[in-house]
Structure formats: structure tokens, C-alpha cells
Structure 1
Amino acid sequence: MPESATTHVTTATPPPPVRRRTASVWLLVTGLLVVLLAGAALVAIEPLHRPLPAPAVTRTLPASTVVPGAAPALPWPQAGQAALSVDGLGPLGTSGGNRPVPVASVAKVMTAYVILTAHPLDRGEQGPTLTVSAAQAAAYPRERARGESLVPVVAGAVFTERQALQAVLLPSANNMARILAAWDAGSVDAFVAKMNDTAAALGMTDTHYTDPAGLDPGTVSTAVDQVILARKAMELPAFAEIVAQKEATLPVAGTVRNYNSLVGRDGVVGIKTGSTDEAGGCLVFAAVATVAGRKVTVVGAVLGQPGADTPVQLDRVFRATRPLIRTAVAAIAEHPVVKAGEPVATVRGPLGAGTTLHAAQDVRVLGWPGMPVRLDVDVPPVPQRLPAGTETGRISAVAGEGAPVTVAIESGVRLEPPSTWDRIRRHR
């Protein structure tokens, strides 16, 4: 080849490098993915930072019910008034209206109550003494001529407070009621004012006293009011002790007997008889029985039983009273008002979890069919996790005026908080 000939060599230009650009793109995409995933993760776990709401409790047990069964049909007397009540439970019923009527020697219950509240006695205690004045002794023949119920007295005779109350409450001595009144208040009139003040304080709105013995027909009351008084009087130990006696030994008079011949029969433990032409035969009574292992006291009053004289009047009031006591006692029993396992409330947790609360055992109350019963439910805040059968609160049942009966509440199926996945899934 000639020297002048020139050889041209063409060199290809390499393409620009792409590795660094591709890496940058991948870094960008990866960064975006990381950001997106982090955001998604934050969105997903954000509900986990919120506190779970407390489980909601909804009561399903009614606020009240009644003792099941038909209400007792009481054999009320055909004439006069009557009322019955059960201590610790409340009124059982009334008959004959509520018009104030003469109550005869039943008034002496108030006389004894006023004396014992002013001069309290313990069981068996004799208390202070009182002396019969010459004037009080001189009145005895005139009182006897009027046919009053009395105990013999003489001037200077000394009675203890208990003996004087025995004379008033057992043989129903009018003269000793007046002697006690003057001893306590200075005069009979002042004592009668105390009787009426006490009646008003006790809520005996249809009662008015004009004498401490009940001989005056102006002394009037109702069966309902006398039951109020009888229940209060029986709370006084000395009163309850005296009216349960069949007899007592007194100065001058010797042994005296209780006019209330029902004492010791049908559970009767007192309280007081009364009889006049205006009042008829009257009786305020208390009877004790044991029901379901518990002592119950039935207190009642029967007024205005007809009769020509005291023996007939009292016989009729006793005959009217005994069926009332027996029927009342037979009607009282222990009754279930909420059954074991009966639902009391529902519990609803977050995200639909739930359980029920139920009575752990029967809720049983003492009472009679038809008696109203109040039902209360106390459930503390329920935790997120509650094993089955956990005690959770109490049911309280109150029959009439009775004391509350409480029973535990238990949970049903286990309550669990929602899982993490459920919380995330349900909030997407």
C-alpha cells in the first residue's frame, strides 16, 4: 500500500452508563414504598393506641314485681272495724272503713305508752313507787257504783310503776289509769294533753283522747291508728312483758287476771281489751309465729263488736280475732321472686363481645301473695376481661316494708377483649 494512503479507524462511542440512574430509580421507588407501607402501618395500628371503651351494662330485670299467687282472703268481721299489719313487712289489710269510733279501755294502751316513755322500765324492773292519796281512795266506792272496771285501793297503798301498769293493762283498772295520770303529769287533764300530743307525733291522725281510761265515749280512734300505736308499744320491753302475763299479784287487790283470754293461744302475746255500750267489744292484739325459721309478729285491732254486755262483747271480739290471726299467719311464707340463673343484665363489650349477668341463686322474700317487691341491681364497672361465673354485683329485693334480701350476681359466658387483628380489621 502506498505511503500516502491514510487508514481511518472508526471507534464506536459507548452508550451513557445506566447503572447509576437505575439505582436511583429503585431507591426512589423503594423509598416511596417504605413511606407508603409506614403510613399504612400507622393507619393500621392507630386504633391500637385508642383506649377500649368500657363494656356497657344494660339492666333487664324489672324494677319491681309482686309475690306470686292470689292475695289472701281474710275473714274480716261482719261488723265494726279491723286492721292487720305484720311487723317488718307492713299492712295486710283493713275492713269497716276509717271513721273514728269509741275504743273503750283500748285507750289504756296509750296511757301505758306515755307512762313508759316518760318513766322507762327494763324487763323485770319495778321502777319508782306511787302512793294512793286519800281522795283517790275515797273515789273508789263511787267508781264502783258506776260499774267501772277497777282494782281495790286504800289510802296510803304503795304501788310500784310496774304494779300500777299491771293494774291498768290486765284487769283494765280505770281508777289506776287516773292515778297514774296524776302521778305523771300532775293532773288528769294535763296527762290527756300528753296523750293527744303523742298520738299526733305517731301519725294517729284519726285519734282523740278525752280521758286516760277510755270510759268516756269522746275518746275515739280507728283500727288503723290503734295498730300504729300497738306496734310502737310492743317495742317497749316492759310493756310487752306485762301484756303477755295471764295474771299478776297487786297490793290490796291480790291476784288479778288478764281480761285478754287469747293470751297464750294462737301465738297471742297481748295486748289490750276494751268494752262499753258505745264502743262494743274491742281488742288490740299481737301474735307471734315462726315462718321459714324467722319470727314474725302479726299486730291487729278489731273494734265495735256487738253485744249486750262485756262478757258477750269480748267473746265476740275474740271469735272475730282468732280466724284473722290464723289466716294471716298461714298466708305468710318465703317466696322466690327471682330464680337462680334468671338474667339480670346484659354486658356489651367493644366490637360486639358480650355476656349476660344472672342471679347466682334464688332471691327469696318473706311475705304473702300479691305483696309488692322492689328490685334493685348494683353492678360495679365491668372489666374488659371477665371469666365465666365471676361474681359481679348484687340483687336486692325488698318486700313491703321488709329488710333487703341480697343475692350475688354472676357472669355468664366469658367476656374477652377483642384481639389486635380484630381491632385493626374492624377499623380499616
Structure 2
Amino acid sequence: MPLPAPPPRFPHRPAPAAGAGGDRAPGPPPRRTRRRLLSALVPVLLLAALFGAGTAAQLSRDLPRTTLMTSIAPQIRIPGKAPALPWPRQGSAELMIEGLGRLGGSGSGGGAEPIGSVAKVMTAYVILQNHPLGSGEDGPTLTVTAADVADYEARIPLGQSLVPVVEGERLTQRDALEALMLPSANNIAHQLAIWDSGSEKAFVAKMNAAADELGLADTEYTDPSGYLPSTVSTAADQVELARAALRSPVFTEIVELPEATIPVAGKIRNYNDLLGVNGVFGIKTGSTDEAGGNLLFAARLTVAKRTYIIVGAVFNQPGTDTPEQLAAVNKVVRKLLTAVREQVKQFRLLDASPSGELESAWGQAVTVSPARPLTVVGWPGLTVPVEVTATPPSGRVRHGEVVGTVEAAGIRVPLRADAAIGEPSLWWQLTRRP
């Protein structure tokens, strides 16, 4: 009896189907095939990661600043004919306004002339440069010596402007400067020179050195008081000196005093009779036979709620004596200051209209305009320097956003965008260069 067939070893696994020729179906891919697939996929995945990181980096970069270009000229001339001011028929004159410019002058072709006691402005300037004083300070003490008294007494017969002194008298530096500038004391000019430098010659050398530093090419000092006719200058030079001297608050305080009180002499009066007239607050008179009548002056001028300083000089006016000479120069100065007040006004330099363009790096552009008309104080014919400062923003720009400023004669006006600049396109952001 035959034995039964043994059961299959793997009853749960179906028998493989026979193919052509009885071959088996292929099994799972070998390992090296999988490695090839992974090798191909890694670069693709890396490229995808890099692209994603690059895209993120491009989109997160700050947008570049916009570019501001304007049609505003660096200088703008106020339309109209320059004012014809009542310059003196003889002698010389010069006028300027701080912060605005030179109004003009006359008689400059005559060269340097004696200036009398206007020379004391340089004496005070040198003293304050070498011995600075704060506002309201009295400074060190000068003691009057026997030599100072002898100098004072020697000047009396010559009819010079003096203040009395006695040996042993003690003057503060401020007392001495008040005596120098108000009643124009020649003996105090000499005393200050000795106190500062030991001799008049050494002090005069300092005066001329200071003149050179200030660019006073037509000025020569030979004494600290201006009594000698060999001390010469021009109106233009002395206006430059006055501008430098007025930077000292103490100097300005002193020349503005109508009177003061000092030891021995008592009350002293300022010889400048124009104080308070047409805004005049200084500076110095001067008169001799050779120099005629002279006034170096400063006056305040208020226009459009802003105060300006006029600095001027009128020199070498005729007269037979000091009162007549000073009356003549004062008459000219009054006329000049009246004319200046009539001519110096507020003028429109720029309208509040498109004056340039703001452009983005991605090609959008809008016009820009002053936020309001730019008005300045001046006079017809004055050329005004104009400065444009650009502060263009990055990225988008809002309508009305400030993108810069325009400034002239101390007046500053914002520049605003007349329309908005939007964000750049996604494509521009992705393809922009680093």
C-alpha cells in the first residue's frame, strides 16, 4: 500500500507561477539600485532646500532707499532791480545784514583814510581776545600809575577826548573798556595798551596782527586811540572788524550803554547820539580834522518776526569840528537805515509746487514739492544760497511723507512726496541683485 504524500512545508505561501520556460517572477530590487535612487534624489532635495532658503533671503532683504532729484537751483536771485540807497556824496560807506548779505557800499575807490577813534574798536577787540570777560564780569584791576597821570596831562592841551585819572586809582577791566568806548578816552586806550603789552609799540603790533587775521587788507594801525592820522582803514574793513567784535557779549553790552559810572570820572556818557534811533545799538564814533566824521554802527531790524543785525560804516564826512562832523555822519546813517527798512522785506523764493522727483529702485516715481512756499527776507537783486538736504525713505513711500528739506536764509521747509510709492512686485524682489 503506497504511503501518502508529505504535507507542503509552507502551506500559507502560494506556489510560484511558472513563466515561460518555467522562470520565477523578479523579486525586490537589489541594494545598489536603491543607492542609485538615493544618489539622484539628494541633489534634487538640496537644490529645493537652497531655493527655498534663497527665496526667503531675497524676500527678507531691506528694500533700497529711494532717490531724490530736484530742479531747485543752488542759488536763487530775488527778482527786481537792486535798491538805490542814499549813499553819502563824499567819504565812504558800507552796509551788510548778518545772515543775508552785503547791501552795498560807496566811495571804496578812494582807498584807506584816517578813521579817528573808530580805531578803538580794534583796541577793545584785542583786549577782549587776550583777556576774555564773561557777560556781567568786571575782570582784573588796572592801577593808575604816575606815568598814566603824566600821559593824561600831556594830552589835555591837544584837545583830545579823555577821562580824568589820579595816581593809585583802581579801574576794573570793564571800567576801562567803558571809558574807552563810551566817551572815547584816548588816555585809557594808552593805559590798556601798556597793561596788555608793556608798550604801545608792542600793542599796536598785536592790533595789526589781528587785522591780518581778519583779512583787513586796507587797514594799518599806528596807535591804539586813532588820534594819529596815520591810522587808516576803509568802511568795508571796519564792518568786518565790527562783525567779529560783536560776537563778544561783553563788547555788545558795553557799546549799547548810553552811560556808565567809573571811579574818579564818575558818570560818563556815550558819544553815539544815534543809540536807540532806527534800532541802533552801537558801535563807535570817531572824528578828527583829518578823518572827518565817522560812525561804525550796528542796528537791529525785525522783518517777518525775525530780527537781523545791520552792520554798517559811514566815514570821512565833512565838518569844521567834532559836533558838526558827527551831525553830518548821523544824518547819512539815518537816511540809510530808513531806506533799508523800506527795501528789506519778505519775498517768495519757491512756490509749493513740484520741484523734483522721488524714484524707487523698482521704477516707480512721484513728484515732490515744498510743504509750503519758501519765503525769505531780503531785497530785490539779492542772490540767496539754497541748500537741499535729501532724506529719502526705504521701501514704500506714503503720500505726503517728508523726503528732504530745502533751506535758504535760515528758513527751512520740508519736501514732501506728492503721491505714494508702493511695494515692489514679487518677481522684482526675487530677481533683484545682491
Same fold (TM > 0.5) = yes
Tell me which residue corresponds to 1:214.
Answer: 226
Match of 2:98 in 1: 87
Residue aligning to 2:158 = 146
**Structure 2 residue matching 1:68: 3-state secondary structure:** coil
SS in 2 for 1:287: strand
2:263 is the counterpart of 1:251: yes
**Pick aligned residue for 2:405 from 376, 384, 394:** 394
| Contact 1:85-1:298 within 8 A present in 2 as well | yes
TM-score of the aligned structures, taking structure 2 as reference length: 0.78
Shift of 1:61: 2.6
Which residue of the partner structure matches residue 324 of structure 2? Answer: 312
| 1:356 CA displacement | 1.2
Query: How far does residue 380 in structure 1 lie from its aligned partner after superposition?
Result: 4.5
Q: 1:267: which partner in 2?
A: 279
Partner in structure 2 of residue 110 of structure 1? 122
Which residue number in structure 2 is paired with residue 359 of structure 1?
370
Q: In the superposition, relative to structure 1, how do residues 151 and 57 fare at CA in structure 2: closer, same or farther (>3 Å)?
A: closer
Q: Is the 8 A contact 1:150 1:171 kept in 2?
A: yes
The Cα offsets for residues 26-64 of structure 1, whole Å up to 9 and x where unpaired, read as: xxxxxxxxxxxxxxxxxxxxxxx9999987654323332
Gaps of 5+ in 2: 1-57, 429-434
Give the Cα separation in 2 of the matches to 1:387 and 1:306: 66
Matching residue of 1:61: 72
Aligned counterparts, 1:4-403, within 5 A: 57-98=68-109, 99-340=111-352, 342-347=353-358, 354-380=365-391, 385-395=396-406, 397-399=407-409, 403=410
Distance 1:294 1:231 in 2: 19
Give the conservation status (yes or no) of the 8 Å contact 2:190–2:224: yes
Contact 1:379 1:392 in 2 (8 A): yes
The structural deviation recorded for 1:267 is: 1.1
**One-letter amino acid matched to 2:72:** L
RMSD (Å) for aligned C-alpha atoms: 2.6
- 1:158: Cα distance to partner? 1.7
- Partners of 1:383 and 1:241 in 2: CA distance: 50
Distance 2:64 2:133 in 1: 62
Separation of aligned partners in 1, 2:204 and 2:170: 23
1:409 aligns with 2:415: yes
1:389–1:126 distance in 2 versus 1, CA, 3 Å: closer
> Structure 1: how far apart are the matches of 2:242 and 2:92?
16
Q: Which amino acid aligns with 2:163?
A: V
Shift of 1:75: 1.1
Could you state the TM-score of these two structures normalised by the residue count of structure 1?
0.79
The count of aligned residue pairs is 369
Please give the secondary structure, in 2, of the residue aligned with 1:248. strand
Counting aligned pairs with the same residue, the percent is: 49
C-alpha deviations, 1:55-91, integer Å up to 9, x for none? 7654323332122343222111111010111122222
- CA separation of 1:357 and 1:192: change in aligned 2, threshold 3 A: same
Q: Deviations over 1:207-246 (max 9, x none)?
A: 1100001011110111011011111111212211111111
Which residue identity does 2:113 align to in structure 1? Answer: V
Kept in 2: contact 1:385–1:416 (CA 8 A)? yes
Question: Within 1, Cα distance between the matches of 2:83 and 2:287?
Answer: 30
| CA deviation profile, 1:74-111 (whole Å, cap 9, x unmatched) | 11111101011112222221111151111010000111
Describe the SS at the equivalent of 1:366: strand
| Cα offset, 1:131, TM superposition | 1.6
Counterpart-to-counterpart distance in 1, 2:362 and 2:201: 78
Distance in 2 (alpha carbons) for counterparts of 1:56 and 1:148: 68
C-alpha separation in 2, matches of 1:300 and 1:108: 16
Q: After the TM superposition, which segments of 4 or more aligned residues of structure 1 sit over 6 Å from their partners? A: 49-56, 349-352, 417-422
How far the C-alpha of 1:274 sits from its partner, in A, is: 0.4
Partners of 1:290 and 1:414 in 2: CA distance: 40
Distance (whole Å) between structure 1 residues aligned to residue 362 and residue 168 of structure 2: 90
What is the rounded CA distance, in whole Å, between the counterparts of 1:77 and 1:417 in structure 2? Answer: 66
Letter in 2 for 1:367: G
Contact 1:349–1:417 (8 Å) recurs in 2? no
Q: Deviations over 1:263-305 (max 9, x none)?
A: 1221111110000111100000111122211221111111100
Residues in 2 aligned to 1:214 and 1:125: alpha-carbon distance in whole angstroms: 27
Secondary structure at the residue paired with 2:355? Answer: strand
Contact 1:60 1:343 in 2 (8 A): no
Quote the Cα distance in structure 1 between the aligned partners of 2:69 and 2:149: 75
Unaligned runs of 5+ in 1: 1-48, 423-428
Between stretches 196-205 and 286-295, larger displacement belongs to 286-295
- Structure 2 vs 1, CA of residues 158 and 69 (structure 1 numbering), >3 Å: closer, same or farther? same
